[in-house]
Amino acid sequence: MRKPFRPEIAVVTGAGSGIGRGTAKALAARGAEVIVADINFATAKDTVAHIRSAGGSAVPYALDVADLPSLEAFADYVRTAHGVPDVVVNNAGIVVGGPFFDIRPADLHRIVDVNLMAIVHGSRLFGAQMAERGTGGQLVNVSSIAAFAAMRLGTPYCFTAAAVKQFSETLRVELAAQRIGVTVVCPGLIATNLAATASLATLSAEQVAITRQIVVKAMTLAGMHPDKAGRKIVAAAADNRAVMPLRLESLLAYWITRAFPGLVRAGMRLATGPEVERVIRFVIDHPGFVGVAREAAELMPQRPGLQTYWEPPEYDDPPPPPIPLRR
C-alpha cells in the first residue's frame, strides 16, 4: 500500500522552462518545497519567482546535469539543506539532429550525457537517499514520444529516449519492494523551448537560427501548454503510473507501435525518408531561401502568454549554494 501523495520536498531538473517549469509549479501547488534546478540560473530564478508569486515555496539551483561531480554535489546539497526529496523529476533534455554520420562525436556525447546518463545518475543518487530513508518516494523520468516512434534524422534523440523508457521500467521493478515508484513520461508535442537548444548537423548557423524560431512558434500554436503538461505529470506520479504517454499522438504511437511495429517503421520511413530530405535540402539551399524564410519566421504567429525564445537566454553567475540551516 502506498501512502497518500503529499510531497514535502521535490526536485525538478531542467525546471527553468517548459515541462520542467510546469511540473515544478504543479508540485508547488501540491504543497511541496521545490528545488528548481537548471543549467541557466536566470531561468531557474524566474521559475522560482512564478512559484513564490502564487504562494508556493521554491529555491533555485544552477546545475549542469551532464557533469557528474556537480550532480553528486547537488544531491548532497539537497539532502543536507532541505532533506531527502519525496519526488524527483529528471527532466532536463536537449535535441541533436541531422544525418547520423554527420553528427559530431561531441554532440553525441552531450546528448547521451544529458538525456540518458543524467537520468540514470539522478535516479541512482536520489533513489539511494529514498531507500536509505525507508519511507518510499517517487522518481519521474521524462522521455519522449521518440521512445516509441523511430524518426530518421533524429537517431540520437530517439535512442536516448528509448533507453530512458527501458531503464525506468526496469528500475521500477527493482525498487518496488522499497516503495519507490518510478514513472516514465513520454510527451508528444508540448509548447516548450526545446528547439532553442537543438544542435542540427549540416545546417548553417543562419539556417539553424531560422529553423529554431519557426519550430518554437509552431510548438506554441500546436503544443500542449507546459503548465497543463506539468499537472498531468504530477497526477501520473501520484498514481505511480509506469508509463505515461502525454498527449493523444504519444498514446497512439505507444499502442500502434506495440501492435503493428512494421507498419509504424514503414510510416516513419515514408514521412522522414531521404526523398523528403532531398526536397527540403533543395529548398533550404536555394540562394533566395534564407531571406524568405527569415521574413516568414518573423511574420509567423505564435501563441501568447508562453515563455518562448529562439536562442537560449544569457547565463548569469550563480552564487554558491546557501549554508544549510535546517534538517
Residue from 157, 254, 309, 315 carrying the catalytic annotation = 157
Q: Which residues, in sequence order, are bridge partners of residue 189?
A: none
Residue 198, C-alpha cell as written in the block: 537543438
Rg of the chain over all Cα atoms, to the nearest angstrom: 20
Sheet with 57-62, edge to edge strand ranges: 57-62, 33-38, 9-13, 87-90, 137-142, 180-187, 243-246
3-state secondary structure 186-216: EECCECCCHHHHCEECCCCHHHHHHHHHHHH
- The phi, psi pair for 10, rounded to 5°, reads -135, 145
18-29 helix and 41-53 helix, angle to the nearest 10 degrees: 30
User: Which of these, 193, 218, 100, 203, lies nearest to 151 by C-alpha position?
Assistant: 100
- Distance (Å, whole) CA 259 – CA 220: 31
Query: Does residue 77 have an active-site annotation?
Result: no
The distance between the two most distant Cα atoms of the chain, rounded to a whole number of Å, is 64
CA torsion, points 19, 139, 121, 317, in degrees to nearest 10? Answer: 40
- The phi, psi pair for 247, rounded to 5°, reads 95, 160
Beta carbons of 264 and 257 less than 8 angstroms apart: yes
Let me know if 97 is exposed, middle or buried by CB neighbors in 10 A (0-12, 13-18, 19+): buried
Number of residues in the chain:
327
Residue 154, C-alpha cell as written in the block: 533524429
Catalytic (active-site) positions: 157
